Amino acid sequence: MSDMGDDTVPLLTARDLTKTHGRSRALSGASAELAAGEILAVTGPSGSGKSTLLHCLAGIVHPDEGAVTYAGERLDELSEKRLSELRRTEFGVVFQFGQLIPELTAVDNVALPLLLAGASRTDARAEAGEWLERFGVRGQAELRPGEMSGGQAQRVALARALVTGPRVVFADEPTGALDSLAGEQVMTALVRTARECATAVLLITHDAQVAAYADREIRLADGTVATAGVAA
């Protein structure tokens, strides 16, 4: 993993990001920063640029203007090989609907990133089982996504995002498709595990109750940061 050196330096920063999709400007001078081990909520109405900001910070897309820096590296200056390495080892991503592979069991979904990193099938499945246990879904290890509840599947998705020990997890509306109880269980599991592993979390949400799990909140409006402060 990359060495931050000075802990006072933010792990991940975005400076004056602009991003246009067709004729629509999704980001307009947006800036944000994420410290190591911090949970940051990004809130705002639909269309305010929340997901686009996450995609830029995760290196999934490049901004038209501005810069994203991770541990001293400018993401837009990295090779695709290096970006792929970051996404495989130091970044974890969770989407609203989990995006588990429907043909694979829970344990094989979680083991997949380890297999892609070169682990043996036996070791990968054993590690995946431990992460399913951590998220309270060990009993669903041999079930496929369609055989699980939404909350169970999302906890499997969280296990998959964290199994490689990433420094940052990007969570895009991770409770958006869940009822309130399942959403609370997912957020409790995510926050507990992030704290245990000193993992930073960038949390995109429209839900004030979900944002309250964060250490700090920034609110986007029309593609730029409107307010920032400690989460309630």
**Helices 150-162/180-197 angle, 10° precision:** 20
Mean pLDDT, residues 66-84 taken together: 93
Average pLDDT value for residue range 83-93: 90
Q: How many CA atoms lie within 13 A of 32 on its CB side?
A: 35
* Segment 118-128, tens digit of pLDDT: 999 999 999 99
**DSSP state string for 143-204:** --GGGS-HHHHHHHHHHHHHTT--SEEEEESTTTTS-HHHHHHHHHHHHHHHHHHT-EEEEE
Q: What is the pTM of this model?
A: 0.89
pLDDT tens by residue, 182-217 = 899 889 999 999 999 999 999 999 899 999 999 999
Domains detected in the chain? 12-225 (3.40.50.300)
Question: Is pLDDT at 146 greater than 70 in this prediction?
Answer: yes
Could you give the CA distance from residue 38 to residue 195 in angstroms, rounded to a whole number? 9
